[in-house]
Amino acid sequence: MIDLRSDTVTRPTPAMLETMMQAKVGDDVFGEDPTVKDLENKTASIFGMQAGLFCPSGTMTNQIAIRAQTQPQQEVICDQRSHIYLYEGGGLAYNSLVSVRLLNGVRGILSPEMVEENINPDDAHFPETSLVSLENTMNKGGGACYTLSQIEAISEVCHKHSLALHLDGARVFNALQATGDSPAQYGEHFSSISVCLSKGLGAPVGSVLVGSQDLIRRARRIRKVFGGGMRQAGYLAVAGIYALDYHVKRLSKDHERARVLAETLKKCDYVTSVMPVETNIVIATLKDITPSQFLSQLEGKGVKAVAFGKQDVRFVTHLDFTDEQLNRVVDVLKKLDRQPA
């Protein structure tokens, strides 16, 4: 089976597993796991940030970042398709007691003007705006990326209005690879960044939240109360270190393969359109066939993807998807029968 449902489906490579077997570990809740500390410091320093916090998931790093940079009754600005809003179980309201201002960006990409227009005035009727959260790459926008100048301009708006600026960087290295920007440039503009290790980077588990010393100190207390303190987590952290060392540059391969899939889909008679492909996500809109019909035909031919909205399907390329598999998928897509309406 060729699994293109998500870049989370990857398994550790033999070399990664080897490093996991060798990891030096201790009890990280006692602050005694040297490998967890190495991962936290390494990730922070890549982004030019002071400190990092290793967490079990990207959802947890996002939720902690929101909790640490808001007070109950305040408001968070984000795109309406954001992971923090759509796919984190209502955690904004549940964990942080905040409201949310949903914007309609271009493929999920916000402009500085939209952000500024949606900051509430200082008036007791309105919730106080305190945090802006961007997603890069933008999952629901087909893996769309921000340009550095867009990020700079939004960061300026945040600075002017004393707002924190969080980055949901579940696929931040895909964005950096595609744009050629440096992680340190992102570190200058965001107050916190969630860096996912278990998506394109291919580690089995984990995300690191990076930010200032003070933010991460508060984040550590929140992680504890969320139940995210982990003991001999060095076995997992070392997989993240390995991924940062060896699995970043190769992301451009995933991007190339995604472009080939998109070109193939565009020519299929059961596809009306394909979102522009910038990274490793391909979203196609179907016609005369429902996503569930399409996906079951596809699965019958040994390929998995996911439904992504009413008429859309999503394919995500990743570390375990080879050129040989790409050729097979292209073949399957070309031969898929069009269902009668």
Ligand X SMILES: *Cc1c(COP(=O)(O)O)cnc(C)c1O
Q: Which residues bind ligand X (CB under 6 A)?
A: 57-59, 62, 83, 135, 139, 168, 170, 196, 199, 207
Distance of closest approach, residue 59 Cβ to ligand X, in angstroms: 3
Cβ-proximal residues to 324 (8 Å cutoff; 6+ apart), any chain? none
Residue whose C-alpha is closest to residue 310's, from 338, 280, 287, 332 = 287
Minimal distance in Å, beta carbon 22 to ligand X?
25
- CB of residue 299 vs ligand X: minimum separation in angstroms? 22
Q: Pairing between strand 192-196 and 207-211?
A: antiparallel
Compute CA distances 190 → 41, 44, 73, 117, 126, whole Å. 17, 12, 23, 20, 25
Q: How far is the CB of 153 from ligand X (least distance, A)?
A: 22
For ligand X, give the closer residue by CB, 75 or 168.
168
Please say which residue, 235 or 270, places its beta carbon nearer to ligand X. Answer: 235
Q: How far is the CB of 300 from ligand X (least distance, A)?
A: 28
129, β-bridge pairs: 75
Q: Write down the least CB distance from residue 323 to ligand X, Å.
A: 25
Secondary structure (H, E, C), 312-325:
EEEEECCCCCCHHH
Minimum CB distance to ligand X smaller for 7 or for 75: 7
341 Cβ contact partners less than 8 Å away, ≥ 6 residues apart: 288
Cβ neighbours of 300 (radius 10 Å): 10
- The one-letter amino acid code at 157 reads V
Which of residues 93 and 334 has its CB atom nearest to ligand X in the complex?
Answer: 93
Q: In the complex with ligand X, which residue's Cβ is closer, 193 or 289?
A: 193
> Among residues 75 and 88, whose Cβ is nearest to ligand X?
88
Interatomic CA distance for residues 32 and 37, integer angstroms: 8
Q: Which is nearer to ligand X, 41 or 57 (CB)?
A: 57
Task: Name the residue type at position 265.
Answer: L
- Residue number, 10 or 264, with CB nearest to ligand X: 10
Q: Which of 158, 197, 175, 60 is nearest to 108 (CA)?
A: 175
3-class SS at 140?
helix
Count of helices and strands (H, E) across the chain: 14, 13
> Cβ 270 to ligand X, closest distance in Å?
26
Residue 338 CA: distances (Å) to CA of 114, 252, 288, 305: 41, 32, 7, 17
Q: What's the residue count for the chain?
A: 341
The least distance separating ligand X from the CB of residue 15, rounded to whole angstroms, comes to: 23
